[in-house]
Amino acid sequence: MRRPRAASNDGLNRTGTLLLSLATSQVGLDGVQADRKEAARAGLVRIARDTDFGDTQLWTRVNSLDSPWVLDDLITLAASLCPLPTEQGRPTDRALVTALRETA
């Protein structure tokens, strides 16, 4: 597997925050094209898991809450990178959606 460029960059350890974007561009000029969303989500998760960021914080930009992509973005990120709420001892998408709605 090829390492992401940022993962091999010595300057990364001197960066306070690294921002990766999953936001979708409606015009294709900036952001992730809608037909590439799943690949972008998978790539971001892979980078987050496989890279030692040291003291650098990894932030992710997602679409606005009224977009058709935001819930899938948040579920993918949370399910892959964060502890999930549980129901009967198992993490569930439903528990995550409920938790997200309660905090919105």
Per-residue pLDDT of the chain (104 residues; tens, 9 = 90+): 344 454 455 555 566 888 888 998 766 567 888 889 999 999 999 998 898 888 888 888 888 888 888 888 888 887 777 665 566 666 566 666 676 666 55
pLDDT score of 86: 61
Domain covering 5-103: architecture? Alpha-Beta Barrel (3.20)
**DSSP letter (8 states) at residue 62:** -
Entry field: residues in the chain: 104
Tokens standing for 94? 């439903």
CB neighbour list of residue 50: distance below 8 Å, 6 or more residues apart: 1, 3, 4, 7
Residue 97 confidence (pLDDT): 67
| 104/88 Cα distance (integer angstroms) | 24
pTM of model > 0.75: no
Residue 55, CB-side half-sphere exposure with 13 Å CA sphere? 5
Strand partners, 17: 57
Q: What is the pLDDT of residue 1?
A: 39
Extents of the domains making up the chain: 5-103
Residue 84 is predicted with a pLDDT of 58
What pLDDT was estimated at residue 27? 63
Q: Phi then psi for 61, rounded to 5 degrees?
A: -90, 130
Nearest residue to 39 (alpha-carbon basis) of 88, 73, 85: 73
